[in-house]
Structure 1
Amino acid sequence: MRRRIVVGVSGSLGSLAALHRAAAEAQERSAELCAVLAWQLPGGGLGSRATYGTAVLRECREAAVEDLCTALDTAFAAGRPGFTLIGLTVRGEPGAVLVDAVRSADDLLVVGTGSRGSRLPKLRASVARHCLAHATCPVLAVPPNPLEAELALIRRRTWSLPSVMREPGR
């Protein structure tokens, strides 16, 4: 069985940092890289209890595949990686999906520890924390890039500008 590096991908800056680190680990270890994107139905965990038709399921699955392809294209825009790259989209909670994607104790699970986003941040458990607690293999938790915090601060300042601005000299 070939060594694997499993990495969680969401498209966020933190997950892209984790993806780049996982790619470096795959290159160094001559391992295959398995990029995993977990997806859920609208409404998250609670939405999963509702009854959705097959068309909604198909649209959500296709959107997840598109998001994963976009993240991989962004991460590897400079060229094809020098290792086997596998993309996988799985319906479920991100932490549980990543832990389940691990095949053996020889795998390495790479996760970002960046922000969980603005959507329900207090209600969602940390994916990195879940993986550290439940994975059966080593877990590499990649901290966010310090520039990410500065970018978030700039965005907050930009959004708080008044909607009507004066022209210079008036």
Structure 2
Amino acid sequence: MSGERVVVGVSGSLASLAALRAAVTEARHSGRELTAVIVWETPEGRALSVRHPDRIWAAHWARQARKRLDQAFEEALGGTPTDVPVRKLVVRGGPGRVLRDVAHKEGHLLVVGGRPRAWWAPVRQYVRWNVRCPLLTVPAPAHPKRAAWTLRRVGAEDFIKL
């Protein structure tokens, strides 16, 4: 299985954390390397940063992406697994194209997360039509009804013990 790997797109969302867990499980079972990819871009976008590049600003956003990737491993798995070869990539660009370029062989497996009914999700649609390798889409974990509505209304005072 030399050169074969499980590639997972990580953003820090609940769906991408579920995808990371599924990718680690698949890498363990198949003996493949796990390649976790986080994609970043400066807030002003690619066009402006090409015309007026700022290396310090770009380095800042690359560091922030690296922190999000490390945090995703902590939240999803309690740290980087030691029983699977892991490669962490922090890449500047568009998520769909970067994932397509990293998972470019037929022996690879691409794992992405997504909300169950978000069939229109641009990254998922892009990789679905543009990668040659198998694609595994992992849904975000379900949450209780109205949980998001309730959590948006929680304030700091709700956490203070009296």
Tell me if both proteins adopt one fold, taking TM over 0.5 as the criterion: yes
Instruction: Please report how far the alpha carbon of residue 54 of structure 1 lies from its aligned counterpart in structure 2 after TM superposition.
Output: 1.2
Which residue pairs with 2:43 in the alignment? Answer: 42
1:103-157, Cα deviation, whole Å (9 max, x unpaired): 4111000000128xxxxxxxx952111111100111011122122xx37x32323
Change (3 A) 1:79 1:39: closer
> TM-score w.r.t. structure 2 length?
0.82
Which residue pairs with 2:54 in the alignment? Answer: 53
CA RMSD of aligned residues (A): 2.5
Change (3 A) 1:80 1:94: same
Deviates more, 1:66-75 or 1:42-51: 42-51
| Matches of 1:93 and 1:79, distance apart in 2 | 25
Change (3 A) 1:92 1:84: same
Tell me, which stretches of 5 or more residues in structure 1 are unaligned?
116-123, 162-170
Between structure 1 and structure 2, the one with the greater Rg is: 1
* 1:141 matches 2:137: yes
| Matches of 1:105 and 1:26, distance apart in 2 | 16
Deviates more, 1:42-51 or 1:55-64: 42-51
Which residue pairs with 2:149 in the alignment? Answer: 156
| Matches of 1:24 and 1:71, distance apart in 2 | 16
Task: Name the SS for the 2:36 alignment partner.
Answer: strand
Which residue pairs with 1:164 in the alignment? Answer: none
Change (3 A) 1:56 1:131: same
Instruction: Please report how far the alpha carbon of residue 52 of structure 1 lies from its aligned counterpart in structure 2 after TM superposition.
Output: 3.7
Task: Name the SS for the 1:127 alignment partner.
Answer: helix
> TM-score w.r.t. structure 1 length?
0.78
Change (3 A) 1:79 1:56: closer
Task: Name the SS for the 2:71 alignment partner.
Answer: helix
* 1:132 matches 2:128: yes
Alignment of 1:77-96 (within 5 A): 77=78, 80-96=81-97
Task: Name the SS for the 2:8 alignment partner.
Answer: strand
Amino acid of the structure 2 residue aligned with 1:111: V
Instruction: Please report how far the alpha carbon of residue 47 of structure 1 lies from its aligned counterpart in structure 2 after TM superposition.
Output: 5.3
Contact 1:41 1:47 in 2 (8 A): no
Instruction: Please report how far the alpha carbon of residue 72 of structure 1 lies from its aligned counterpart in structure 2 after TM superposition.
Output: 1.4
